[in-house]
Amino acid sequence: MRLSPAIALAGLILVTACGGFGTSKLNPLNWFKRAAPEAIEFVQRPVDARALVPQVSDMKVEAYPGGAIVRATGVPPSQGWWNAELVKIESEDAGVLVYEFRIFPPPTPRPAGTPFSRQVTVATSVSDIALDSISKIVVQGETNALSSRR
């Protein structure tokens, strides 16, 4: 089915007549406003309440298209530790990317079990852009740290 030129012209006139096409809500160029200055509100971030994992047993950096995945395995003292994360911290050396392996202890005492049953693995992604200036990646635990160099 072809759209007749008369109907197309009538639609165009209707759209442009709605308060002017330049200010119309139908104009996609008006959907978002221009960037405007905004007052910055500095918020003091709370200190991470999670503990450092006692031992980092394994750490790997695996490449993928667009970046790399930093994967680390930690061994807490008992079972039930949860909400683990690699938390990026500031490094004095510009070419070093440092992560802390943070984890919450269990809410109630748990059995120790075997080291294999206590393992917790976490990962984070790092983009190619961030990796351009990085020559070494470090994952820190409470008693040790593991690193990987380019």
**pLDDT tens figures, 43-76:** 455 677 888 999 999 999 999 899 999 999 999 9
Residue 104 has a pLDDT of 93
132 vs 46 pLDDT, higher one? 132
Residue 14 has a pLDDT of 65
Sign of CA dihedral 83, 85, 90, 91: positive
**pLDDT above 90 as % of the chain:** 37
Residue 35 has a pLDDT of 47
Of these ranges, 10-14, 40-44, 129-133, the one predicted with the greatest mean pLDDT is 129-133
If 0-12 CB within 10 Å is exposed, 13-18 middle and 19+ buried, where does residue 57 land?
middle
Residue spans per domain, the chain: 51-149
Mean pLDDT of 110-131: 91
pTM tops 0.75, yes or no: no
Contact 84, 102 (CB under 8 A): yes
| Measured CA angle at 72 (ends 97, 128), to 5 deg | 45
Residue 68 has a pLDDT of 92
Sign of CA dihedral 119, 125, 126, 128: positive
If 0-12 CB within 10 Å is exposed, 13-18 middle and 19+ buried, where does residue 27 land?
middle
